[in-house]
Structure formats: C-alpha cells, structure tokens
Amino acid sequence: MRLKIFSVFLLAAIAISGHSQNELITNIAARKTFSLDGKWQYIIDPYETGFTDYRFKERSEKDAEAYWNTDIPANRSDRKEHGFIAKYSLNVPGDWNSQDAKFLYYEGTVWYRKLFNYKKSNASNHLYLYFGAVNYKADVYLNGHKLGQHKGGFTAFNFEVPDSILKEENNNLVVKVDNKRYADEVPALNTDWWNYGGITRTVQLIELPQNFIQDYSLQLASSGQTIKGWVKLNSFTPNEKITIEIPELKIKKIINAENAISNFSINISSIQRWSPEDPKLYNVVISTASNLIREKIGFRNIEIKGTQVMLNGKPIFMRGISIHAEVPQEVRRSYSKADAEMLLGWAKELNCNMVRLAHYPHDENMVRVADSLGILVWSEIPVYWTIDFKNADVLAKAKSQLSEMITRDHNRASIIIWSVGNETPVNETRNNFMHSLLSTAKLMDSSRIISAALEVNYASANAIKTIDDPLGKYVDMVSFNEYLGWYTGLPSDITKTTFNTIYNKPLFISETGAEALSGFKADSLTRFSEEYQTWFYKEQIAMLRNMPENFVGICPWILADFRSPRRNNPTYQEGWNNKGLIDQHGKKKPAFFVLQSYYAEMKQKFETQNN
Ligand code: GCU
C-alpha cells in the first residue's frame, strides 16, 4: 500500500512541477551500470545563448545554434558559435565552484557535454540515464533530442533512453545546468550555505531487462517476529515468480508477482537487530527470472512511545551533530564514499550516535556509510526559511523532492527521521503548507519519525521558553533550533533559560552553536574566539542538564566550518560560517572536546540505564 502512495505522489508532483523523469531506479550500485563520470566539456552561458535566440525566444529543438545540437561545422564555411573542447573541461561528479576560480560565485547556466559509445548488451533491454544530483535545474539532451528536465539540487533522477535516439558511437550527451536561485523554488532565494552548481553527483547509464525490479522494501515488524515487505516490478508476466533470500537467516521466500506491487511477509525465529552499538547488515538477494539484485539491509525497530524515542524497544538519547555536504579542506560538495567516511568518521570521534544531514538529502554514500558505521540519521528536504508557501507549484516541488528522498533511501536502517523543513516562519499559509508536507511524508513512510525544525516562542516572559509552534500538532517529535548565547545574549545567559513544549511528545534540539575562528585565541568574552565557543558549549551543556524528561537529544550546529555568502566579517568569517567544531583544514577546535566529553558521559548513562 505504501509504495502505491508514494508513486502516486511522485507522479502527481512530476506532472504539476513539469518534470518528466521516469520513476527512480533504486540501488544503482547493484545494477548493470556504465559510468559517465570523468571529464565533461563545458560552455559558460550567463546570457542563455544556447537556449534562446537574439530575441530571447526559446530555440526550436532543430535550431543549429542551440547548444544541444552538434558543434561540428558541416563544412569550412559553416558558422558555428558554440563548441565543446577539452580545454574547457570539468570533472563530474563535482560542483563547478571549486574547480576553477572563475566559477567561485557563478550563478547561472553551464552547458556540459559528454561524448560516449554504448552498445546495449541485449537489444530488448531498457537503458536509463541516471543522475545522482544536479544543482539546480537540469535540461538533458541526447543526440539533439530532449530527454527531460529535473528541478531540485539534491535528489536523484533518471530518464529512459529510447533506442531511436541511442547510437553505438559518439553519443552527444548535453546537459544544461542552471543554479540560479528563485523565490518560487525549493530552496528559495536565501540560504546560509554556498550555492554550489553543477553535476554534483555521479552519472550512470543503467541497463535493465524488459521486466526488472524497480524497487523493494524489507522492514522488521515491531513484533520482531516478521519481516514485511514488497517488491515493485516495472512490468511482469502473469505468474512470474519473485524470490527474496536472506541466506544468513536461511530465508528463501518465493511469491507470485501480482500487479506492479507484490507484498510479502516472512516469519523469523530470531534476528540480530541493527543499532549504533551493533550495526548488523544482512545480505539480501531479490530475484526474478530475468533480474537479480543484491542489497545490504539492517533490521531495526524505531518508534515513539509516550515522550521517548525507542530503538529496538529501548529509549535512546540522540548524541547528534549537524553536517553540511561539504569537504571543508577542499571547499567542495561531498559526493564520494571517502568523503562520507571522513565526515562520519569525525562524528564517531565526537562520540555521536546520530547526524543531521542538513539541509537537503546528501549523496547515497552518506546514508550507506551511516548504515555500516551504525549512525542514526535525520534526513531532510530544503524547505528552508522563507519559501513561497502560498504557491501550489512550490508545494508540488517540495513533495517531489520529498518523494525522491524517500524513494532512494527508504531501505536504509540508519535513517530514522524524515524532516520536511527548517526554521520556517509561523503563519497560517506556512502552517497549511507544512502540514500538507508532514501528512504526505507520513503517508509515504509511516515507519519513521516525521519532524521539522520548528520555531521557539521567545515571547514568554519567564525563564522557560516554550515550543508552541502549531506544527507541533502534526510532527512525531518536536524539534527546534536555539542559539541562546550566540544570537541572543552571552553564554552566561544560557543557564538562565531552558525549554519545554506544550505538546506531549519527545523534545529535540536540532541546532545550537557559536562561531570560532580556528586559532583565534582571546578571553572568553571575545566574540569569534575559540574561548568564546568553548564557554558557549560548557554553558549549553549545563543548560541541557535542566531540560525536561521528554528531552531526547541534541544536534549542535555544526561538525565543520562551511562556506556561506552571508558571512562577511572580513576578519573572522571571509565567506565562512565558522560554527564548526572542526575547522576548514580538518583541525578540531577546543569546543570539539567539550562536546565529545559530554557525549561520552551520556553514552555511559544510557548504556547503564538500558542494561
Ligand atoms: C540556522 C540555520 C542554519 C544556519 C545557522 C546559523 O538555524 O538552520 O542553516 O547556518 O542557523 O545561523 O549558523
């Protein structure tokens, strides 16, 4: 049932927001792929010359001057005013900002081109062109024909490649990438992160048989005695068999393919549940007559009981840290397994059992490495700050990104929270918009905690600040960001305050933090010094000890310093937000060790309590 819902939402959202990609193919690492990563040639096109004529009218598909059409002159007199040559190349995957100084602040269109040869191994197979992510808008053309358009800078998408377009040699793949910001996009105009543009994640050709496994789900029922799931085929022949195997559990379940979605339920006698202490992953094999997929899945139960978050039946305290998808030492978008291992390795060193992947879905390596390291994950869509909440198309775009995020990652044990937004301003239009998103997320995946970073009501005169954001009615966990001692007052003011909520739900601090320019030493009252940040964390931790019973964790802002066009103090920021506990060279600041020690204490406390 659940899958039907999110397919419906995905198709509806695609229709409204004008996307034309095909349903997302999941677990591409397990498919037959041909990588298109590597050097792509580019043209910078701030005036959209490749897309519009001198009257600024969109060019017709056959227009010889369109940048998606050949750049090879028909003869020596033929006029060509565009072209792709090796001299102008960019690495894919990768943002353009970090690859050449001329791109650092660039916001506009860059045309990418890749020539490739490809012969399908079986003529009747399907061929898909898959993008891990393109920020922000991608228009994709192959051999002069438009395959489709995708909007959204942090989610995967794919287009089917018709046989009529594919050639065995010299396929001319052209992608128009536009990272300009707009008030009616998601995110909108204003973000506290760098607007890295480009084909920022992997590009793969995926060859699949006529009938293939589109998607699947395996989850441990709350009883712990059953694995429930479903398998979705793109198409199937009546009475086609689907086999689900978990060899280590001696499971081999054979079911008949019914409709597009075939449900199954497997009774089990015992299972090693996935957890941060024991991130057990099982090898799973799903197969039909023509397609076989291997997957590693962790089985665990996550639920809310009263005001506690329960993992495998035991209350947990989330020792989190927020992370941007950025490699600080190289000032670039993260995208590789090595990037994920470095960032999540730092979180493990900090004694974290949880990370908040802010403020957008990170690349698939991050959530797969979190599965293997045993780190709980908060994953979110960039409905950030001030979105055009009155615009139905914007809601459709947000739902499309929500569906793409959940479709790609719904088998990841590490992900326990889907978040639909961050610090959006309380008003009726926004409440309705966000309520719709929260309801949609719950419909798409009722097995996880649904939340968002809500607003604090600071108006209350007394020392206890309340979270009474109307969205608190609809979230499973009341999460909020607080910056006592940084944006309001000094660290000495922090312990004069604490927080609660009017909702009888778990309470989670999804952000708090203070800046320190690494190596800047002064007295603790000096803003931007390491001593100020250290003092801030000591006072925050003291305040946490007064939080109410339903306080279930915290996710300070942020693991590492990151680029932001909004941070322009010429001495202490220079285009960086320095709230990181680790600096832009990978060096830990003194505050890192203050939080690390608190987390060691909380780890010990909960292990003692639970055993
Ligand atoms: C906000 C926001 C972050 C931002 C941070 C800050 O809460 O969610 O994206 O970077 O505070 O001000 O540093």
**Predicted local confidence at residue 607, as pLDDT:** 87
What is the tens place of the pLDDT at every residue in 228-257? Answer: 999 999 998 888 999 999 999 999 999 999
425 pLDDT band, cuts 50/70/90, is very high
Q: Is the CB of 578 under 6 A from ligand 1?
A: no
Whether 16 is in a domain gets the answer no
Ligand 1 atom at shortest distance from the alpha carbon of 562: 10
Say yes or no: 252 and 314 in one domain: no
CA distance 589 to 583: 7
For residue 17, is pLDDT > 50? no
Q: What is the DSSP letter of 283?
A: E
For residue 180, is pLDDT > 60? yes
Q: What is the DSSP string of 359-381?
A: SS---HHHHHHHHHHT-EEEEE-
* Average pLDDT of the residues in 579-586: 98
Q: Is the CB of 511 under 6 A from ligand 1?
A: yes
Question: How many whole angstroms from 266 Cα to the centroid of ligand 1?
Answer: 44
Whether 502 is in a domain gets the answer yes
Q: Is the CB of 422 under 6 A from ligand 1?
A: yes
Residue finishing a domain among 249, 271, 303: 303
Question: How many whole angstroms from 384 Cα to the centroid of ligand 1?
Answer: 10
Nearest alpha carbon, ligand 1 atom 7: 481
Say yes or no: 458 and 422 in one domain: yes
Ligand 1 atom at shortest distance from the alpha carbon of 358: 9
Which residue range is the domain that position 407 belongs to?
Answer: 304-610
Cα distances from 355 to residues 321, 401, 442, 445, 510, in angstroms, run 5, 20, 21, 20, 10
Cα distances from 365 to residues 34, 81, 197, 198, 361, in angstroms, run 18, 40, 20, 18, 11
439 pLDDT band, cuts 50/70/90, is very high
**Predicted local confidence at residue 22, as pLDDT:** 87
The token pair that represents 198 in the structure block: 């480009």
Ligand 1 atom at shortest distance from the alpha carbon of 384: 8
Residue 189 belongs to a domain with what CATH number?
2.60.120.260
For residue 14, is pLDDT > 80? no
Sign of CA dihedral 287, 293, 294, 297: negative
Say yes or no: 217 and 197 in one domain: no
Nearest alpha carbon, ligand 1 atom 9: 192
Say yes or no: 319 and 286 in one domain: no
**Predicted local confidence at residue 236, as pLDDT:** 80
What is the tens place of the pLDDT at every residue in 120-175? Answer: 999 999 999 999 999 999 999 999 999 999 999 999 999 999 999 999 999 999 99
Question: How many whole angstroms from 482 Cα to the centroid of ligand 1?
Answer: 10
Whether 249 is in a domain gets the answer yes
Q: How many angstroms from the chain centroid is the CA of residue 265?
A: 30
Whether 2 is in a domain gets the answer no
The token pair that represents 593 in the structure block: 């060790």
Q: What is the DSSP letter of 184?
A: T
Conformation bin of residue 331: beta by default, left when phi > 0, alpha when psi is -120 to 50: left
Question: How many whole angstroms from 472 Cα to the centroid of ligand 1?
Answer: 20
Say yes or no: 184 and 217 in one domain: no
Say yes or no: 162 and 273 in one domain: no
CA distance 94 to 105: 15
Whether 26 is in a domain gets the answer no
**C-alpha dihedral, 271 to 276 to 277 to 278, nearest 10°:** 30
Residue finishing a domain among 170, 190, 208: 208
> Which of 192, 321, 381 for a ligand 1 pocket mutation test, highest count of atoms within 8 Å of Cβ?
192
Question: How many whole angstroms from 156 Cα to the centroid of ligand 1?
Answer: 25
CA distance 529 to 527: 6
Residue finishing a domain among 208, 232, 265: 208
* Average pLDDT of the residues in 266-288: 97
What is the tens place of the pLDDT at every residue in 525-574? Answer: 999 999 999 999 999 999 999 999 999 999 999 999 999 999 999 999 99
Percent of the chain surpassing pLDDT 90: 93
What integer best gives the mean pLDDT of the chain?
95
Q: Is the CB of 481 under 6 A from ligand 1?
A: yes
Whether 334 is in a domain gets the answer yes
Residue 546 belongs to a domain with what CATH number?
3.20.20.80
For residue 44, is pLDDT > 50? yes
498 pLDDT band, cuts 50/70/90, is very high
Q: Is the CB of 577 under 6 A from ligand 1?
A: yes
20 pLDDT band, cuts 50/70/90, is low
Conformation bin of residue 313: beta by default, left when phi > 0, alpha when psi is -120 to 50: left
For residue 9, is pLDDT > 70? no
SS3 24: coil
Say yes or no: 366 and 503 in one domain: yes
Which of 80-89, 137-146, 230-239, 278-287 shows the lowest mean pLDDT across its residues?
Answer: 230-239
Say yes or no: 293 and 397 in one domain: no
For residue 111, is pLDDT > 60? yes
Q: Is the CB of 579 under 6 A from ligand 1?
A: yes
For residue 66, is pLDDT > 80? yes
**Predicted local confidence at residue 18, as pLDDT:** 39
What is the tens place of the pLDDT at every residue in 299-342? Answer: 999 999 999 999 999 999 999 999 999 999 999 999 999 999 99
Ligand 1 atom at shortest distance from the alpha carbon of 564: 10
Say yes or no: 190 and 222 in one domain: no
Q: Is the CB of 455 under 6 A from ligand 1?
A: no
Burial 209-241 (b: 16+ CB within 10 A, else e): bebbbbbbbbbbbeebeebebbbbbbebeeebe
Cα distances from 160 to residues 165, 208, 397, 472, in angstroms, run 11, 10, 21, 41
**Predicted local confidence at residue 8, as pLDDT:** 52
Whether 268 is in a domain gets the answer yes
Nearest alpha carbon, ligand 1 atom 3: 192
CB neighbour class for 585 (10 Å; exposed up to 12, middle 13-18, buried from 19): exposed
Say yes or no: 416 and 333 in one domain: yes
* Average pLDDT of the residues in 339-349: 98
Question: How many whole angstroms from 28 Cα to the centroid of ligand 1?
Answer: 33
CA distance 336 to 330: 13
Whether 10 is in a domain gets the answer no
Residue with tokens 């549940």: 273
Task: Kindly tell me the number of DSSP H helices and DSSP E strands found in the chain.
Answer: 8, 34
Question: How many whole angstroms from 305 Cα to the centroid of ligand 1?
Answer: 30
Nearest alpha carbon, ligand 1 atom 4: 192
Q: Is the CB of 515 under 6 A from ligand 1?
A: no
Ligand 1 atom at shortest distance from the alpha carbon of 515: 13
Q: Is the CB of 557 under 6 A from ligand 1?
A: yes
3 pLDDT band, cuts 50/70/90, is very low
Number of compact structural domains in the chain: 3
- With contact defined as beta carbons under 8 Å apart, do 146 and 61 qualify? yes
Integer Rg of the chain from CA = 25
CA distance 329 to 339: 11
Say yes or no: 291 and 407 in one domain: no
Say yes or no: 514 and 418 in one domain: yes
Question: How many whole angstroms from 89 Cα to the centroid of ligand 1?
Answer: 34
pTM above 0.85, yes or no: yes
86 pLDDT band, cuts 50/70/90, is very high
Residue with tokens 């109307």: 470
Nearest alpha carbon, ligand 1 atom 6: 192
